[in-house]
Structure 1
Amino acid sequence: MNPIYLAAAEESSDKNPLIPEPYDIFWSAVCLLVIGFAFYKYVIPRLTKVLDERTEKIEGGIAKAEIVQAEAQATLQQYQEQLAEARLEAARIREEARTQGQTILAQMRTDAQAEADRIVAAGHSQLEAQRQQIVTELRSELGRTAVDLAEKIIGQSVADEAKQAASIDRFLQELDANAGIGVGR
């Protein structure tokens, strides 16, 4: 075997291969401190800044969401109040319309009754006028018939109009008295 390998084998047999040499530990510690310092100086502030920004955004978003939710709740409440007011207004308008309808119906009934009464009164007055006209026509017709009958019974002419009118009136009065019919009825 080679003498170099033997010398290395003798040296290495005294030491534990898992424990590093002190210079390796020193330089590793120096590298670790430099990397730690750079990490602490540059990376951690940026990471903290990014995390703080994200926290602010999240908290701002939550605050905005709470504000929007409060506004939405206020808008909903206002909408519900307006809806309740509109319902009350609609009920009031319906009640007014119902009252006006009843008033109009009552007025129409009153007007219709007045018109019916007027028509009935006009009918009665027209009937009374026709009755008077018929009674007058019947009197004159009855008077002529009575004069004709009297002329036939007496056999002579009753030419005097005053006597004729008096005879007709007397005859009609007797007829009314016997029949029980009044002239004014």
Structure 2
Amino acid sequence: MSHIIIMRFLEKEPDLKMIGFDELCYSIDVLIINICKCVEIYIVALILGTFMNTLVMHISYALLRWSAGGWHARKSLNCSLFGIITFSVFPFITQSLDIHISIFEILLFLTIVFVLIYCYAPSDTEKNPLVDSSERKKAHWKSILTTLLIALSASFFNTTTQFFIVSGILVESVLVTPLFYKLMKVRYNNYEEYAEIKQQK
């Protein structure tokens, strides 16, 4: 579907033909898939009555993921299940159990997030390796800054909202770790493969 959309668009904008066709297709496919995943997550959240907490957690997660990257499920079904369980079912469980969290625990979780992001962000994928070292460095510091800004913004909310803000970035910080990649049996630091090929040439 994305191929048809792009071909029609390029017919009207010939100057854009210089842009990689496959990259455009991939970007549009990713956008469409992400929109569908979000719809699934929020439909379940509405059914479970967790919409606002799901929204808060999902936004903080997405803001950090923008620069930090991290693990991607290879199958669409796995991605859907991960999103629904993490952002819809988890808030439902915490609401049902009426879990309360102290400021000390929030600070502890934030410390874990900072350490993981500082040590491992950004993380790439096989389909989207971060080949450019300067881009990796920019993404690294952007991830740290984003984490700091999210942590500061959380201080303006009550502890319940703080919990879901921190939960979102905590999930993302785990997804960039080598251990999680290993558990999911996917390659970590995919850019290294391209560096090895370049050296061989």
TM-score normalized by the length of structure 2: 0.20
Rg: which structure is higher? Answer: 1
Q: Which has the higher contact order (CA 8 A, sep 6+)?
A: 2
TM-score normalized by the length of structure 1: 0.21
Instruction: Give 1 or 2: higher helix fraction.
Output: 1
